[in-house]
Amino acid sequence: MNSHNAVIPYFPTGRPDELLYSMCAAFQDHMQFPRPHYTMEALFGSKWGHATYDLPNRLGYLVNNLPPRHSYTVDELIDNHTMLPFYSPFCPQERIQRVREVMQHSERGSVHSLLGILYMRQLKFLQFCPLCVEDDTNLFGEPYWHRVHQALGVKVCPIHAVFLEASHVSIQNPAKADTFISAVKGTHDVTPRPLSLNKLVHKILLQISRDALWLLNQKGLVSSSEQLHARWIKILVDKGWATYQGTTSRRKELSSEFLNYYPSEILTLLNCEIRVGKDGMDRHSWVHRLTYRNKQELQPITHYLLFIQFLGHTLEEFFQLSHEFRPFGYGPWPCLNPVCENFKQICIKEFSLDYSITPGHRPVGRFQCACGFTYARLGPDSSSEAGFRFSRVESYGIVWETALKTFWANPYISVHEMARRLGVHDKTVKRQAARLNLPLPRQAVFPIGIGAEITRRRCQPSKVDEQQLYRDEWLAIREKCPEAELKELRMLAPRAYNRLSRYDAKWFSEHCPSSTRVATPRTSGQINWSERDADWSNAILEAANLLLFSPSRPKQITASVLGREIGELTKIRGNLDKLPLTTQALAEVVETPEQIAVRRIHWVTERYREENVFPTRNQFERRAGIYPKVKQSNVVQGAIAAALSTLSLMRSGANGAK
């Protein structure tokens, strides 16, 4: 038979999800060649080729010799009638492109070897669904081989929810390597075996087959190992099994949950057995290898399908997850310096990324404005509003410090008002003033005579007209500061303001600045809780970070400790229902007994390192001061073991250096 670029007179039209192998078998049945290798020679130009069911090559030759006016392209055949889309989403773009080239051209090279599946277990027989055979016969006049039924790990039909049956067509028989056998000849009558969806094993098998069908219908979906790893980690972090740095931190818990989720019978059925020892799953098992960073080899696709289903996602949901790690969203980011002209303006184009030393290694972003104000935020951001908050200030910058110096030199601005304008707590103002060597005490507002007289008269034990005392104080401050507004006067003489506005309102109204209308005395219902909430939430985050990064012995971060740190414990305790931001801030930073234990373990480890001392376990635990109940935690035990291991390595290094 002449095979040199001979145009074939006929080629069947592919049906939905039909294998190219099935189309070639239909061609062979139609042409009725006396020898099987004639079909191979006519279609692929080589009588020594193999009838490959999943990933054939020499497709360029086939397309070039199809009948005139056909609509096929090599890419269409690959995407719609081969098994490559089943593997593509788990391979890098470059490898898939190389595989496509080998499938198109007559180059020598094994597609299976390129993909890394040469030594994976393959099907022994082509599979079919009895109900699909019936439907295809009614619709198309004959059955055909479906791609999804031949996908590794697929045991049931995703359309009819019945078990697949093995056909008479052996894939691994060398004597039939050049023979295409159609579903008409290869299938047989068999009673369908429906699934029982109240059985966990059957539900898992059905989901695997549906995921496989979804894979086969995707075009151009590819992923690098880094992208797959990023998606794993995103889910594992949410479940508490990995850190934001990309390492699986709790492999033992992950292993235990995986083995509890899947019955051993289904792992055996799918050839995905896991060796289990006294300490649980083997640390080199395929489950753990999936989570390794930059792992290039392709694992059996069933491994991916099982793992993704275990994580609570369908394959479609999994590939919709972003593989980009953006804990602080897309930039630019705002300046949060209240005295900068760019306050809350989107002007910071870059940030540096680090990770906290606390369990979970949460991302820490550092943002610096041109004004010098540098803040850090513990991520990831849970909402767009989080971008306008910070966990701590690392540098206030020249603009902020200049504003503080200006306010400090103005005797009419109280420390509390400075704190409000600068966006910090009162204690921070005093601390920064001391750092900048600003004069203490500040310049007095009143002449010494007036202040002393008011103080003397206040302290007199005789019954003096208190109302007149407060009137005198108010008149004195008005005379001293004739241009001051009511708000400034209130800060300069708070006691006189409160007394007169409540109990001498008419007189007080007559002696207020003319442009000011005195409101009725403020009641608790008129307190601006939103403003307080914003101030206190930022103060709590700032106080928490001061405690967290303090070089002294770690102190547990509790709501009471934070309340005392910012001087508002009683007010916060009694009004949490009005303080959503403060409540959220407390929830984010308050430590559990386990977390403070781990922080103390890290701190003690650093102290021993500095001292070049190598303690026993008992000495280490006593110095860390961990409560007995907390010590039983797996997390704490793991942290102690890791710390002692680190110190042991130091000792080994020190001994080796001697």
Residues with Cβ within 8 Å of residue 5, at least 6 apart in sequence: 45, 64, 65
Asked if 225 contacts 296 with a C-beta cutoff of 8 angstroms, the reply is: yes
- pLDDT recorded at residue 537: 83
- What pLDDT shows up at residue 158? 96
Task: For 573-601, write each residue's pLDDT tens digit.
Answer: 888 888 888 888 888 888 888 888 888 88
Per-residue pLDDT of 387-416, as tens digits, reads: 888 888 889 999 999 999 998 988 878 888
Sequence-separated (6 or more) residues with CB below 8 Å from residue 419: 425, 426, 428, 429
- Which residue matches tokens 């990995």? 242
* Alpha carbon distance 306, 492 (integer Å): 69
pLDDT of res. 107? 56
Task: Spell out the alpha helix ranges (H) of 49-174.
Answer: 59-64, 74-81, 84-87, 93-104, 111-115, 130-140
For residue 533, pLDDT beyond 90? no
Across 329-349, average pLDDT: 90
In 10 A of CB 522, how many CB atoms?
12
Segment 472-486 shows an average pLDDT of 80
Which amino acid is it at 424? V
Mean pLDDT of 187-207: 93
pLDDT for 652: 55
Distances (CA, A) of 520 to 331, 395, 500, 503, 531: 46, 42, 11, 11, 20
Q: Which two tokens stand for residue 657?
A: 């250096």
What integer pLDDT is reported at residue 569 of this predicted model? Answer: 80
Of 360, 352, 267, the C-alpha closest to 305 is 267
d(Cα 618, Cα 606) in Å, to the nearest integer? 17
> What's the average model confidence in pLDDT over 58-85?
91
pLDDT at 330: 84
Question: What percentage of the chain reaches a pLDDT higher than 90?
Answer: 24
Q: Which of 90, 216, 89 is nearest to 148 (CA)?
A: 216
> Across the chain, what does the average pLDDT equal?
82
The stretch 93-120 carries a mean pLDDT of 80
Instruction: Work out the number of other CB atoms within 10 angstroms of the CB of residue 479.
Output: 9
Higher-confidence residue: 283 or 80? 80
Other C-beta atoms within 10 Å of 594: how many? 16
Q: What is the pLDDT of residues 403-454, one digit of tens each?
A: 999 989 888 788 888 898 998 888 889 889 988 999 877 765 444 444 444 4
Rounded to 10°, the helix 200-216/301-310 angle is 120
Query: Which residues, in sequence order, are CB contacts of 176 under 8 Å at separation 6+?
Result: 51, 169, 170
Share of the chain above pLDDT 70, in %: 88
* Cα Rg of the chain (Å, integer): 38
Asked if the model's pLDDT at residue 281 lies above 90, the reply is no
Segment 119-142 mean pLDDT: 91
For the residues 310-334, what does the mean pLDDT come to? 86
Residue 456 is predicted with a pLDDT of 43
The pLDDT tens digits of the residues spanning 489-515 come to: 776 777 788 778 877 888 888 888 865
Q: What is the pLDDT of residue 155?
A: 95
pLDDT score for 81: 95
State whether residue 492 is helix, strand or coil: helix
